[in-house]
Each structure stands twice: as structure tokens, then as C-alpha cells.
């Protein structure tokens, strides 16, 4: 099964990557619904939040904190997680939508050299 977000996580498909570490990756949604619309994903393929290993749940929340601080939007973002096709989940690779109508002045994507 091919998964576009696994391919992005492996660097096989292009994306505007804002942050990544050994467990998580954050990149721009191709169809943004707000000035800042990022997708926060585990690098491993998982479909459901309630089936995630507990350490990965922690890593995702930690990443959300890191990116909120980088963007200086700690008090100005929303998270959305669509769980299941009937709730609007199109991509089966678990992801949080990180959405803010705040300033994008600190939104700088990683360069080729930083990846």
C-alpha cells in the first residue's frame, strides 16, 4: 500500500517541511485553510490515535509544543484530527491539522541542506 505521508516522511515525495525529528514530521498542507496550516505526523505509519504507542502520543504533543514556540503562537492555534473516512479523514496516515490565523512571520521551511 502506498501512503503519500510515508513517502513524504521518507523524503521520497516533496513537501514544505517545517520541522522533523526521529519520530515526527511537520509539513505544510497543500490546500491550506488558514495562513498557517501544518500537518503534524508520526514518521511511522499509524492510522488511529487510540492505537498509537503511548510514547508516540507524547512525541507528537511535544512536537506540537516545539512548533507552537517556533511560530510564537503558543496561545493561538487549533488542532484537528479527523478520525475515519466518515469524519473526513482522507489520508489514512494519522495527522493533526495545526491551524492558526496568527502571523506567519516565523514560518520558515527547512532548506535542502537542513533536511
Which positions are annotated as active-site residues? 95
* Among the listed residues 68, 89, 101, 106, the single contact to ligand AMP using CB under 6 A: 89
Measured between alpha carbons, how far is 57 from 44 in angstroms, rounded to an integer? 12
Taking CB under 6 A as the criterion, the residue among 23, 82, 102, 106 binding ligand AMP is: 82
User: Chain centroid to CA 82: how far?
Assistant: 13
Q: Which is nearer to ligand AMP, 4 or 23 (CB)?
A: 4
47 binding ligand AMP? (CB under 6 A): no
Among 29, 68, 70, 110, binds ligand AMP (CB under 6 A): 29
Q: Which residues contact 94 (CB under 8 A, 6 or more apart)?
A: 41, 42, 46, 47, 48, 49, 52, 81
Amino acid at each position: 500500500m502506498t501512503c503519500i505521508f510515508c513517502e513524504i516522511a521518507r523524503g521520497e515525495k516533496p513537501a514544505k517541511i517545517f520541522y522533523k525529528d526521529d519520530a515526527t514530521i511537520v509539513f505544510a498542507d497543500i490546500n491550506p485553510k488558514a495562513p498557517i496550516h501544518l500537518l503534524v505526523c508520526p514518521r511511522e505509519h499509524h492510522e488511529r490515535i487510540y492505537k498509537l504507542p503511548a510514547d508516540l502520543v507524547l512525541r507528537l504533543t511535544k512536537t506540537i509544543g516545539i512548533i507552537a514556540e517556533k511560530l510564537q503562537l503558543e496561545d493561538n492555534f487549533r488542532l484537528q484530527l479527523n478520525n475515519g473516512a466518515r469524519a473526513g479523514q482522507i489520508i489514512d496516515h494519522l495527522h493533526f491539522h495545526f491551524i492558526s490565523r496568527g502571523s506567519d512571520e516565523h514560518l520558515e521551511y527547512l532548506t535542502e541542506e537542513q533536511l
